[in-house]
């Protein structure tokens, strides 16, 4: 995406169709290739230490990258919200909420001018302030989702199950679609400061014709 270097880039504003989903029903969006800071892991996000380590490392590096971009390139941006790719051998585990079966890749979107060298420099700076286990697993990756169905979920994460059941067992079959990638969540709210019933999360599923 072409961005005016004089403007402070905000992915939520510049890709509003991807970060402003409707809560009324599922909609189809065409998601262009995008670059993210990423850390992989496995297990229940509520209890697995690797999950907390991943999120801490991602935000520490994201702010270090932002600082370097502004200082070295004169290009500032808003640190994007946390996102997650979720996968399991049996997709039904997302409906049953068997979190121990989940593997994940936690993500923070990056402007397209951020490169591996800048990320490596940021990781080195963060590590100098104290070792974080997930830094060794952090990388810059491109995600290509393409055609996807998405909806805004308002409420606690554990209340997502009925919406996902409807997507998997009703909406996708009715539209002749099947899975074409990992379940994707975009966390628009800060869970530390937001009541569970007010959390706003975009639920996205890449799809393809059956």
H or E stretch covering 19: helix 16-19
pLDDT of residue 97: 80
- Residue scoring higher pLDDT (26 or 1): 26
Instruction: Retrieve residue 204's tokens.
Output: 């996205």
Q: Quick check: 99 pLDDT over 90?
A: no
User: Measured in Å, how far apart are the chain's first and last C-alpha atoms?
Assistant: 31
Which candidate, 146, 104, 87, 113, places its Cα nearest to that of 35? 113
Q: Average the pLDDT over 161-166 and give the result.
A: 93
Q: Quick check: 6 pLDDT over 70?
A: no
Which candidate, 106, 94, 83, 103, places its Cα nearest to that of 159? 94
Q: What is the pTM of this model?
A: 0.92
Q: Quick check: 1 pLDDT over 50?
A: no
How far apart are alpha carbons 122 and 70 in whole angstroms? 13
pLDDT of residue 4: 58
Q: Quick check: 95 pLDDT over 80?
A: no
Pick 11-209's CATH classification: 3.30.420.40, 1.10.3980.10, 3.20.80.10, 3.90.1720.10. 3.20.80.10
């Amino acid at each position: 995406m072409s961005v005016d270097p004089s403007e402070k880039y905000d992915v939520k504003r510049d890709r509003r169709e991807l970060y402003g989903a409707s809560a009324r029903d599922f909609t189809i969006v065409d998601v262009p290739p995008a670059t993210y800071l990423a850390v992989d892991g496995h297990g229940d996000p509520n209890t697995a230490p690797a999950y907390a380590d991943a999120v801490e490392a991602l935000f520490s590096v994201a702010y270090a990258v932002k600082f370097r971009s502004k200082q070295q390139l004169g290009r500032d941006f808003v640190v994007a919200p946390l996102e997650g790719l979720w996968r399991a051998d049996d997709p039904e585990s997302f409906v049953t909420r068997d979190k121990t079966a989940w593997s994940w890749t936690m993500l923070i979107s990056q402007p397209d001018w951020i490169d591996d060298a800048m990320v490596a420099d940021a990781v080195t700076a963060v590590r100098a302030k104290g070792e974080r286990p997930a830094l060794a697993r952090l990388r810059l990756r491109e995600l290509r989702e393409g055609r996807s169905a998405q909806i805004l979920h308002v409420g606690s994460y554990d209340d997502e199950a009925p919406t996902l059941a409807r997507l998997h067992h009703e909406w996708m079959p009715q539209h002749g679609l099947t899975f074409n990638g990992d379940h994707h969540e975009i966390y628009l709210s800060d869970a530390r400061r937001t009541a569970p019933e007010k959390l706003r999360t975009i639920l996205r599923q890449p799809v393809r014709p059956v």
